Copies of this chain bind each other. A is one copy, B any other.
Amino acid sequence: MPQHDAPNPVNDVRGRGFSARATLADAVRWIDARTAPLPGETVPLAAAAGRVLAVDVAAPVDRPAADRATRDGVAVRAEETLGAGAYAPVLLMAGAATPVAAGQPLPPGADAVLPVEAVQASPLGVEVLAALAVGDGVERRGEEARAGAPLLPAGRVLRPQDVGLLAALGLDGVAVVRRPWVRVLVVGGPRDGGPDVGPDVGPDVNGPLLAALVARDGGLAEVRGPLPADRAALAAALAEPGADVVLVCGRTGVGEDDVAPLALADAGTLAIHGVALRPGDSAGLGLAGAVPAVLLPGEPAACLATYDLLGGRTVRRCAGLDGRPPYTVVRRIAARKLVSEIGTAELYRVRLTADGGVEPLASAAVPGLAAAARADGFVLIPAESEGVAPGAETNVWLYDPSPNALC
């Protein structure tokens, strides 16, 4: 749960640069110490798929509630079919052979269900063409779940079939972790209007980007901006109550208008400013009041990288999800060298090759989202590594789900 850190003096890096940066591991630890799943709320089953279960769910009663048929056919006592076969039919009188449909409870006395194909009508009753053992074609009471048996654990991301299972238990609502309310403050506009225009023209990229990312990670995004780079106004927006997480995007660097870190210090605590991660080395962390706040650089590639590793971690953990980026990780052989500076984690956008390898498309220094669009995913080289040698195996985080479906 959020906790209030002691205020620390603000190191204003504007015009001076960073004297030191926190490690990515330190930043992750800071987040993990201050985030936990939000309390539960009850939602109807129709809205439950994909939500995170807030409590353990056990079977309230035996399922099924009685022995029942697992197929359409004829319910019998198995011992009465002894010796029956396609060329040796056994006659059962009408009362000893009751038609049942799959799912129906067995009539009293029956302990097996002949499939339709193993029965033929006869004037006196039915002829049985196959011998059965006790329990053939039958699901026993409590076989799916005994009353009290654990079915779904708290923390589970509910699958569609879990929703069906909850419906089978007779529930019409379920307690799930509340979605975090994520205030996204996009500060300043893009600066790519060309040499003849001011710095703050052109479309906002980070607002739509972060809205989609927060929604993906189970948060409810409230995007504001682009906002002016106004320290006092930004501090007020940070301090405003109601948010579970605040993301500030833009104006995190060492330029004169980079007021985001100062505004966060004004609104609470600036715990970390500068992370040894590329792209994204001007990222920051702190508390706005008691609410975790993450400073994301405004350059879109850096915004994406720091969101996935820090901002999204904060959102996902409050949402009850795994803090790691929601990407499948695969092991691949590097087709080319990926170099990295010792002391800094570096993120390469990469492409999977046809022969099962991976190759870099864009280093950490390449800005913009076009490289991420061309990429299949990324390789994150830890701070303690000089990089990945050609022919060495490395983890690849894949942006798309299920790229390796095989059949």
Per-residue CB contact flags for chain A residues 145-162 toward chain B (1 = under 8 Å, else 0) read 100000110000101111
A86, CB-defined interface residue at 8 Å: no
Chain B CB count within 10 A is highest, among A15, A104, A170, A401, for A104
Q: Is the CB of B401 within 8 A of A326?
A: yes
Q: Is the CB of B208 within 8 A of A45?
A: yes
Chain B residues near A203 (CB-CB < 8 A): 167-170
A107, CB-defined interface residue at 8 Å: yes
Report the minimal beta-carbon distance from A86 to chain B, rounded to whole angstroms.
Answer: 13
Q: For A102, give its contact among B104, B299, B322, B407 (CB under 8 Å).
A: B299
Q: Is the CB of B328 within 8 A of A215?
A: no
Q: Name the interface residues of A310-353: CB closer than 8 Å to any CB of B.
A: 322, 324-330
Q: For A209, give its contact among B63, B161, B402, B406 (CB under 8 Å).
A: B161
A163 and B208 contact, Cβ closer than 8 Å, known pairs A64-B192, A216-B49, A407-B329: yes
Q: For A300, give its contact among B164, B322, B372 (CB under 8 Å).
A: B164
A65, CB-defined interface residue at 8 Å: yes
Q: Name the interface residues of A255-302: CB closer than 8 Å to any CB of B.
A: 255-258, 297-300
Chain B residues near A5 (CB-CB < 8 A): none
Report the minimal beta-carbon distance from A299 to chain B, rounded to whole angstroms.
Answer: 6
* Minimum CB distance partner of A120 in chain B: B16
- A369 to B390 Cα, complex, angstroms: 46
Q: Name the interface residues of A132-151: CB closer than 8 Å to any CB of B.
A: 139, 143-145, 151
Report the minimal beta-carbon distance from A22 to chain B, rounded to whole angstroms.
Answer: 17
A182, CB-defined interface residue at 8 Å: no
- A219 to B50 Cα, complex, angstroms: 16
A368, CB-defined interface residue at 8 Å: yes
Report the minimal beta-carbon distance from A210 to chain B, rounded to whole angstroms.
Answer: 8
A367 and B139 contact, Cβ closer than 8 Å, known pairs A164-B206, A400-B159: yes
Q: Is the CB of A373 within 8 A of B327?
A: no
- A300 to B395 Cα, complex, angstroms: 38
A105, CB-defined interface residue at 8 Å: yes
Q: Is the CB of B304 within 8 A of A254?
A: no
Per-residue CB contact flags for chain A residues 180-213 toward chain B (1 = under 8 Å, else 0) read 0000000000111111000100111111110111
**Binding stretch for chain B, among A66-74, A87-95, A239-247:** A66-74
Chain B residues near A8 (CB-CB < 8 A): none
Chain B residues near A16 (CB-CB < 8 A): 116-117
Chain B residues near A255 (CB-CB < 8 A): 72, 99, 101-102, 116
Q: Is the CB of A324 within 8 A of B370?
A: no
Q: Is the CB of B368 within 8 A of A63?
A: yes
A354, CB-defined interface residue at 8 Å: no
Report the minimal beta-carbon distance from A43 to chain B, rounded to whole angstroms.
Answer: 12
Q: For A369, give its contact among B64, B161, B205, B326 (CB under 8 Å).
A: B161
Please list 12 pairs of residues, one from A and one from B, whose beta carbons are closer than 8 Å in the complex, sorted by A's number.
A16-B117, A48-B212, A49-B212, A72-B254, A99-B255, A108-B195, A116-B254, A143-B366, A159-B372, A161-B399, A168-B203, A328-B402
New A-B contacts (17) at CB < 8 Å, excluding given A101-B191, A162-B373, A164-B304: A59-B370, A66-B195, A72-B253, A72-B258, A101-B257, A102-B191, A102-B298, A102-B299, A105-B194, A139-B367, A159-B212, A160-B216, A164-B208, A165-B372, A167-B203, A322-B402, A324-B407
The chain A residues found within 8 Å of chain B, CB to CB, are: 15-18, 45-46, 48-50, 59, 63-66, 68, 70-72, 99, 101-108, 115-117, 139, 143-145, 151-152, 157, 159-170, 190-195, 199, 202-209, 211-213, 215-216, 253-258, 297-300, 304, 322, 324-330, 365-373, 380, 395, 397, 399-402, 404-407
Please provide the 6 A-B residue pairs with the shortest distance between their CB atoms, ordered closest to farther.
A164-B209, A103-B191, A17-B117, A160-B212, A49-B212, A144-B368
